[in-house]
Amino acid sequence: MRFLPKVHKWNSSRARPKVMPLSALVIVICMFKHKSAQEAHVVVPKNHHRFATYYYIARHYKLALEHVFDTLGHNSAILLEDDLDIAVDFFEYFLATRYLLDEDPTLFCVSAWNDNGKVENIDAQASSLLYRTDFFPGLGWMMTSQLWKEIQPKWPNGFWDDWLREPENRKGRQCIRPEISRTGMTPSGKKGASKGLFFDKHLAKVVLNVANVPFTTMNLDYLLNVCHDFSEFFHRCLLAPIFSAGLLPMTIRVVKERLMERFLS
């Protein structure tokens, strides 16, 4: 179930963050080459030889991030694997949410992926709906140079995404993610490091958004931590009657909608 806090309306006394229009976006493709993991003699623990690819990937990410942030001096980057497809509003989504990372220290990334994004788990009509999540989704995500400065000195030798999810690295911070994913798996995803694990049953079934949502014209301040007052929500939970799931005379979807309506009222 998803529970939404009350949405605070836009404060007219506060200037709306300036967002570059998508039409002004210029895409420049730059490629850089580094030594292969074998040439660089990347060390893989003896008991992890079958996971060697994950150590090669972690090194590749580190070299790429060093180039983007340390060499080129950019203040943000979108990381997108080559086996992912993107939605029509992929860049619009990231342009609109970038300012949230500057204004809210309790956020550390924006992700295009919804791990629970199968058709039976999403509201297909809620293409503009965004959430805060404690879980790092990855698979098409944006980070800042500030975060890179923090994690670069301790970047792991392998399994970088699981490492980023660890409490000592996440530090209680959250990530923005959409109801409907802005990235989708291509058939190439079946040939990756995981050898197609979970591809057919899960990854390939995550729905890719098809609606072009004008996020840059929308007020996304409701995603800032200051706008989330959970005290009232928890109070209502404590006062709510206890039901037996087996006797509940309605589907989970209806329950979810009723709870949302009650909380947002």
Q: What is the pLDDT of residues 35-80, one digit of tens each?
A: 888 888 889 999 998 899 999 999 999 999 999 999 999 999 999 9
pLDDT value of position 244:
58
pLDDT value of position 7:
33
pLDDT value of position 139:
94
Domain boundaries defined on the chain: 52-252
Largest CA distance in the chain: 63
Q: What is the mean pLDDT of the chain?
A: 83
Chain center to CA of 40: 31
pLDDT value of position 136:
96
List active site positions.
161
- 25: confidence class by pLDDT, cuts 50, 70, 90: low
Q: What mean pLDDT comes out for the span 120-143?
A: 95
Fold of 52-252: Spore Coat Polysaccharide Biosynthesis Protein SpsA; Chain A (3.90.550)
Using the Cα atoms of residue 126, residue 122, residue 79 and residue 227 in order, give the sign of their dihedral: positive
Q: What mean pLDDT comes out for the span 234-253?
A: 59
Strands 174-178 and 107-111: parallel
pLDDT value of position 239:
75
pLDDT value of position 227:
60
Bridge partners, residue 178, by sequence: 130
**For residue 202, pLDDT beyond 60:** yes
**SS3 state of residue 180:** coil
Q: pLDDT tens digits, residue range 26-37?
A: 667 777 778 888
- Higher per-residue confidence, 231 vs 159: 159
86-100-65-206 Cα dihedral, nearest 10 degrees:
-30
Q: pLDDT tens digits, residue range 86-104?
A: 999 999 999 999 999 999 9
| Residue whose pair of structure tokens reads 């000592």 in the numeric block | 168
Q: How much is the CA Rg of the chain, to the nearest whole Å? A: 20
pTM of the model: 0.78
pLDDT value of position 235:
67
Q: What mean pLDDT comes out for the span 143-156?
A: 97
pLDDT value of position 3:
31
The rounded distance, in Å, linking the Cα atoms of 169 and 163 is: 7
- 225: confidence class by pLDDT, cuts 50, 70, 90: confident
Q: List CB contacts of 53: < 8 A, sequence separation 6 or more.
A: 193
Q: List CB contacts of 127: < 8 A, sequence separation 6 or more.
A: 179, 180, 209, 211, 213
pLDDT value of position 99:
96
**For residue 187, pLDDT beyond 90:** no
Q: What mean pLDDT comes out for the span 163-183?
A: 97
Judging by beta carbons within 10 Å of its beta carbon (0-12, 13-18, 19+), is residue 149 exposed, middle or buried? exposed
